[in-house]
A and B are shown apart, each in its own frame.
Chain A
Amino acid sequence: MTRLSMVYITLYYIAFAIFLGGFLFKIWRFAKTPAPLVIVGTPGAKSGVGTALRVASDALLFRSLFRGNKWIWVGAYCFHFGLLFLIFRHLRYFVWPLPMWYSRVEQLVGITGGLMVVIGIGWLLGRRFFHARTRYISAFSDYFVLFLLLAIAGTGLLIKFSVRTDIIAVKTFMLGLARLHPQPAPADPWFLLHFSLVLVLLVYFPFSKLMHAGGVFFSPTRNQIDWTRSTERNGGTSLPSRTRSLRRSARG
């Protein structure tokens, strides 16, 4: 094992631990923070199923964004679903063996996804640069994450189409990491650049606005049920325990 391999293997595990620990910590904190008052936004679903559908329509279809701004929606949808395709395309580096149908579709899905991501980011970056109101609200970090993702997608496309990397070596390395049985890292600098950028993204993720990926499920204006006036609850017995204790403290 070369020193280079040792360094990359170590960095990978550190980055992955930061990502996982950070992400789970944030989610845990979102989940445990009490929401004492029902602040659900219109139309407040009256049932758990209705609420789940509502949250799902925002997570999967970006429904509220669609209502807010079709131009952002186009770019965002293109980008996010391209990302989803690319994750699918990378499954072979984490899971093996995969079913037959996977290898039949992966190229198509991968190439489509790559293009969608690049076009989507280009679109969103263009807005940040040229749309006055969006430029006004953008900080360095908003550009940074787009450029980072663009660089990841760019280097990915590069090692796929231009300076083709040895994908057998990549697969051996990646599966070794996933199986906690590290193998030597491929010495291809373009691959290592691509890989390094992904590590940066992993470390950056939990400390940034990328947490919207988990947070979208915890927004009280969307995930609460409009139950406050249902007569069977007027007895107060079904109030969440946190609410009861808050009410006691308010009385005290």
Chain B
Amino acid sequence: MADIVTPKLDGKIRIPLMEEGATSHYHTLESSPKLNEALGYPGELVENWQEKAIEKFREVLDTNKALRVFMDICVKCGSCTDKCHYFIGTHDSRNMPVARQDLMRKVYRRYFTLGGKLFPKLVGASDFTKEVLDEWYTYFHQCSQCRRCSVFCPYGIDTAEISMAARLIMSHIGLSSKYSNEIIAKVYNTGNNLGIPAPALAGTMEFLEEEVKDATGVDVRYPMDEKGADVLLIAPSADFFSAPHVDSLIGYGKVFHEAGISWTVSSYASEFANFGMFVGDFHVMRKIAQRIKDAAREFGVKRIVVGECGHAWRVGHSFWNTLVGPWDFLDQRYPVPQHICEFSLDLIQRGGLKLDKSANDARIVTFHDSCNVARASSMGGYEGGQFEVPRELIRATCNNFVEMAEDTIKEKTYCCGGGGGLLTDDLMELRIRGVLPRAEALHAVMESHGVNYLALICAICKAQFTKVLPYYNIPMEVVGGIHQLVGDAIVLGGAKHEV
């Protein structure tokens, strides 16, 4: 475990006093030249980087309304200053959302506004110096793009958009994060973030069939690359290889089994996650999404159902249609894509699943809304469905469900501290500090209600929580997926029906 002193939890979220530069040394590892070039970026910082960066900045301003508007209209009211989990956890003043945005805004003002060109000092404008570039790299890699600040902004200014744009500009002058680039390269090469080759994937699926058979005595199938299946399941690759993720995958399989629907995963598109979003690159995002479309076409599936992954749900829900649509070759009676929670809840509501809630009686469950689900997507086809669908699913499968504090759930949810391409060991301190508000909220219900299960629908949240909650003396075993609950409550062969 990293050597770090964490505060003792008492269930209260406190807004700290500012400490300038407290995290100025959190500098995520830079990508190697080889890796940068593999993704089509310059290998290392180009000689005329300042000129190139301003050029790219101008291009982004001209093609992204959000950035164009956000650069101009912030009034510095201060509403966002106490909303970021990284500010709460690290105390660094530059982790206040507006201060983070201003790192970009000061360059914008200097090069793109009259005031900044004439009187830079008076309007807080600054030349794009090497020091400023360092600040960009440091602090735009301390934003998990969770959008919490945006909820409370009178104009909806979204720091996620700004950090994505900043990372895009930096990539184009040869400066980007090793972690994200490595993962993108792995998807290009193997089809998934973890770099799992097809034979290993097939082995996992076979293993799961045996596991479930041993545990339940029922032949539940976990198929891979089966052409002609009805459903293509796109799951985050962590679901194949990490705990507790894999328990949710077991749950998906049981749901499909009970639904009597044929399904398959694809070894070519074995990844739902799309790190193209984190690095702000439309083209990368498109290339990764295209793999999924190609697989769906090749297999001739009727519908796409996706697994528990937060940012990928945003990409699938909000961006796929624009990136790689149309999806006119799929059955138009179903949304594209359909979330596994939507699929399961719909099945339950139509009486297609027999559930034994008492199987989860040892669990006292609370639900962590993952940022990209809560603040950047929807579910169930109605406003706020992304809050209700998972909760209904939990209530349908468990007898004990407790909400965390009002200010820490739904659209006000706190990030796990590991989103936005920051789930890397070299940012461990940041991750441990960033989880603080969520840990406090969780601690409060653990104390008051004996909560022992933190249900989630995000692969990154699962990985982050299992790793960092132990620093606060919360055991990693509390973390699990919603479909782990569903899977455990399903009575196999219990509902005989036609779907």
Contacts and interface: CB of A to CB of B under 8 A. Distances in A.
A220 B77 contact: no
Please list the 6 inter-chain residue pairs (A to B) with the smallest Cβ-Cβ separation, ordered nearest first.
Answer: A236-B326, A68-B152, A215-B73, A139-B124, A68-B79, A221-B156
Contacts of A237: 326
Interface in A117-132: 127, 131-132
B202 interface: no
Interface in B367-389: 374-378, 381-384, 386
Interface string A216-241: 10111110001011110111110100
B388 to A, nearest CB: 11
A141 B98 CA distance: 16
B78 A234 contact: no
A133 B98 CA distance: 10
Interface residues of B, number: 78
A64 B153 contact: yes
B155 A212 contact: yes
Nearest to A65: B154
Interface in A31-46: 33-46
24 contacts: A30-B72, A33-B61, A36-B64, A37-B319, A41-B151, A41-B375, A42-B378, A43-B383, A64-B153, A64-B154, A65-B152, A133-B18, A136-B99, A137-B98, A140-B122, A141-B123, A209-B72, A209-B73, A212-B75, A215-B73, A219-B155, A221-B157, A236-B326, A250-B323
Given A67-B151, A127-B78, A236 B62 contact: no
Contacts of A216: 73, 154-155
Contact of B383 (A36, A46, A58, A144): A46
A162 interface: no
A63 to B, nearest CB: 9
A242 to B, nearest CB: 9
Contacts of B357: none
B322 A209 contact: no
Interface stretch (B327-335, B475-483, B484-492): B327-335
Nearest to A135: B78
A50 B383 contact: yes
Given A137-B96, A228-B322, A36 B63 contact: yes
Interface stretch (B44-52, B113-121, B423-431): B113-121
Given A58-B155, A141-B123, A234-B325, A211 B72 contact: yes
A133 B17 CA distance: 8
B157 A219 contact: yes
Contact of B65 (A127, A142, A207, A220): A220
A244 to B, nearest CB: 9
A209 B381 CA distance: 37
B60 to A, nearest CB: 10
Contacts of A58: 154-156
Nearest to B80: A68
Interface string A88-115: 0000000000000000000000000000
A10 interface: no
Contact of B376 (A30, A42, A136, A211): A42
Contacts of A246: 63, 282
B25 interface: no
B354 interface: no
A69 B81 CA distance: 10
A120 to B, nearest CB: 13
Given A42-B374, A247-B323, A29 B68 contact: yes
B438 interface: no
Interface string A54-71: 000010001011011100
Given A69-B79, A221-B156, A38 B319 contact: yes
Nearest to B15: A133
B161 interface: yes
Contact of A133 (B82, B325, B335, B383): B82
Q: Of residues A207, A219, A243, which shows the largest number of chain B Cβ atoms within 10 Å of its Cβ?
A: A219
B66 interface: yes
Q: Report the contact-size class of chain A (Cβ under 8 Å from the partner).
A: 35 or more
Interface in A178-199: none
Nearest to A219: B156
B383 A228 contact: no
A77 to B, nearest CB: 11
A139 B320 CA distance: 41
Contacts of B98: 137
Contacts of B61: 33
A137 B81 contact: yes
Contacts of B72: 26, 30, 209, 211-212, 215
Nearest to B371: A42
A226 B318 CA distance: 8
Contact of A65 (B62, B79, B114, B377): B79
A92 to B, nearest CB: 30
A175 interface: no
B321 interface: yes
Interface in B102-142: 102, 113-115, 121-124
Nearest to A141: B123
B68 A243 contact: no
A76 interface: yes
B286 interface: yes
B359 interface: no
Interface in B359-410: 374-378, 381-384, 386
A44 B380 CA distance: 13
Contacts of A67: 151-152
A44 B378 contact: yes
A136 B18 contact: yes
B254 interface: no
A207 B322 contact: no
Contacts of A243: 322
B83 interface: yes
A72 B68 contact: no
B335 A229 contact: yes
Given A212-B75, A212-B154, A229-B378, 8 more contacts: A69-B78, A136-B93, A212-B155, A220-B66, A221-B147, A222-B155, A228-B318, A236-B321
